[in-house]
């Protein structure tokens, strides 16, 4: 497809819409690079579409029986965008592409709502578009599922297969960017079973005006870190479950791909003069630490408030359980109202190793709902009505 023509202005977008409630499919074939092309396209609305191909194959897979050939009806990327502003994507099902569901960077003021981004062979959303890939403005993502990326998709059944990751030449992030700015808001996201990191915002530029707000994220069974964030950030009201060994002995995954980067359930990266707030979350996992922190200097602040933290034996060293938090960041750290269970090390002012009485405390089927009599009930405090960190 040629690039979508830009609309005259934000209030007069070019619109590419399927009929709500019907199945309008865009199907790539013959190895095309872009099913839907927003290269240089601004002031655009795209909605109510399914974007896929009709092949099981994975682009450049290390296993010959999974790799694409010219005879197969495959497409490399579902939606491509670069140098693109004022775009609204909504009600899209992007799945089964041989490489990336979305390959997009150099964006400004994008809103993405009610999107499924599942079972794409390299990554769900890869922000690497070469030079000019940094994003800016308001990047709003709501009500999204990002799952099983780094896996192929059986076109006939929709089942994932041929999952692979970095140790054998793949990738596997659910969502990952290159160096980027912007004010990011991600709400109501289910990010699971990706073969590397789930939500990787490790490459935020750390500028004072750059920030990330994550609300109601359910991230589970991603093979690396469940969530990574760099710079100013708020992570709240979320459930992050670091079952990072899920892919052990499955498909084409190898042990070096499991719980990589220490498998930290949440990883915070500081840059100087940053504030990261982690509040009212449940974090559980088999990484070295549940909340990792690194880089930055003494001008940074990390505030960890009213979280439940549950440790499991560290996958790469099972003799010791995961720690509450840890890392080499020199940020000033504050802990208020946290409760931890089965962790090897616990900060001061934290209620430690008191059974939390959750609906299912097993890692493979973890359910964070507190049962009657749980010491977690009523301990999180009230959510504030305003938040200066919200974009």
Q: What is the pLDDT of residues 61-117, one digit of tens each?
A: 999 999 999 999 999 999 999 999 999 999 999 999 999 999 999 999 999 999 999
Given a cut of 60, is residue 382 above it in pLDDT? no
pTM above 0.85, yes or no: yes
Q: Is the pLDDT of residue 389 over 50?
A: no
Is residue 351 classed exposed, middle or buried when 0-12, 13-18 and 19+ CB atoms within 10 A define those classes?
middle
User: What is the pLDDT, as a whole number, of residue 22?
Assistant: 83
Contact criterion met (CB below 8 Å) for 346 and 321? no
pLDDT at 110: 98
Mean pLDDT of the residues in the chain: 95
Mean pLDDT across 323-352 = 94
Rounded Cα distance, 107 and 181, in Å: 10
**Tokens encoding 302:** 């990390």
Q: How confident is the model at residue 383 (pLDDT cuts 50, 70, 90)?
A: low
> What are the domain boundaries of the chain?
1-183+249-257
Can you give the pLDDT at residue 391?
A: 41
The candidate with the shortest Cα–Cα distance to 173, out of 249, 226, 104, is 226
- In order of 95, 153, 233, 341, the CA distances from 268 in angstroms are 30, 32, 9, 21
Which range is least confidently modeled, 172-176, 292-296, 379-383?
379-383
Specify the residue for token string 């900060």: 347
Sign of the Cα torsion 344, 346, 351, 356 reads negative
The pLDDT score that the predictor gives to residue 100 is 98
Residue 164 has pLDDT above 90, yes or no: yes
Which pairs with CB-CB distance under 8 Å and at least 24 residues apart come from 366-369?
366/220, 366/241, 366/243, 366/284, 368/239, 368/282, 368/284, 368/308
Mean pLDDT of 39-44: 98
List C-alpha distances in Å: 119 to 48, 56, 163: 19, 10, 9
Instruction: Summarize pLDDT for 83-99 with one digit per residue, the tens.
Output: 999 999 999 999 999 99
Residue 381 confidence (pLDDT): 62
Mean pLDDT of 229-240: 98
Residue 297 to residue 217: CA distance in whole angstroms: 28
* Mean pLDDT across 309-320: 94
Report residue 330's pLDDT band, with 50, 70 and 90 as the boundaries: very high
Residue with tokens 């450049």, as numbered in its chain: 60
The answer to whether residue 343 scores a pLDDT higher than 50 is yes
Q: Are 187 and 208 in contact (CB under 8 A)?
A: no
Q: How confident is the model at residue 1 (pLDDT cuts 50, 70, 90)?
A: confident
Task: Report the alpha-carbon distance of residue 380 to residue 336 in Å, rounded.
Answer: 10
Q: Give the percent of the chain with pLDDT over 70.
A: 97
With a cut of 90, say whether residue 365 has pLDDT above it. yes
Any idea what DSSP says for residue 248? T
Query: In this predicted structure, what is the pLDDT of residue 390?
Result: 41
Please determine, for residue 361, whether its predicted confidence score (pLDDT) is greater than 70.
Answer: yes
Residue 31 · residue 73 · CB < 8 Å: no
Question: In degrees rounded to 5, what are phi and psi of residue 135?
Answer: -100, 160
pLDDT at 85: 98
């Amino acid at each position: 497809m040629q690039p979508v023509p830009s609309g005259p202005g934000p209030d007069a977008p070019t619109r590419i819409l399927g009929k709500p409630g019907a199945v309008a499919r865009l199907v790539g074939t013959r190895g095309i690079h872009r099913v839907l092309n927003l290269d240089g396209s601004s002031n655009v609305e795209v909605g109510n579409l399914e974007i896929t191909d009709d092949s099981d194959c994975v682009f450049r897979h290390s296993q010959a029986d999974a790799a694409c050939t010219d005879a197969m009806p495959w497409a490399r990327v579902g939606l491509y965008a670069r140098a693109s502003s004022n775009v609204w994507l909504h009600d899209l099902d992007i799945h089964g592409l041989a490489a990336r569901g979305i390959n997009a960077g150099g964006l400004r003021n994008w809103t993405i709502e009610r999107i499924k981004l599942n079972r794409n062979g390299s990554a769900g959303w890869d922000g690497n578009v070469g030079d000019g890939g940094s994003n800016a403005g308001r990047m709003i993502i709501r009500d999204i599922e990002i799952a099983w990326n780094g896996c192929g998709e059986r076109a006939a059944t929709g089942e994932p297969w041929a999952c692979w990751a970095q140790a054998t030449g793949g990738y596997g992030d659910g969502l990952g960017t290159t160096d980027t700015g912007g004010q990011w808001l991600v709400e109501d996201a289910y990010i699971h079973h990706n073969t590397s990191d789930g939500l990787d915002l490790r490459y935020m530029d750390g500028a004072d005006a750059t920030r990330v707000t994550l609300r109601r994220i359910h991230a589970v069974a991603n093979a690396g870190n469940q969530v990574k964030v760099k710079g100013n950030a708020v992570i709240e009201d979320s459930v992050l479950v670091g079952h990072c060994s899920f892919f052990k002995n499955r498909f084409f995954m190898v042990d070096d791909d499991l719980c990589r980067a220490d498998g930290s359930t949440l990883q915070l990266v500081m840059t100087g003069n940053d504030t990261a707030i982690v509040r009212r979350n449940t974090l559980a996992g088999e990484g070295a630490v549940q909340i990792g922190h690194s880089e930055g200097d003494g001008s940074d602040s990390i505030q960890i408030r009213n979280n439940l933290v549950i440790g499991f034996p560290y996958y790469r060293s099972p003799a010791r359980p995961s720690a509450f938090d840890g890392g080499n960041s020199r940020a000033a750290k504050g802990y208020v109202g946290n409760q931890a269970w089965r962790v090897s090390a616990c900060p001061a002012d934290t209620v430690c190793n008191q059974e939390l009485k959750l609906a299912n405390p097993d890692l493979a089927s973890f359910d964070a709902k507190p049962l009657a009599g749980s010491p977690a009930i009523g301990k999180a405090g009230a959510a504030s009505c305003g938040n200066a960190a919200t974009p």
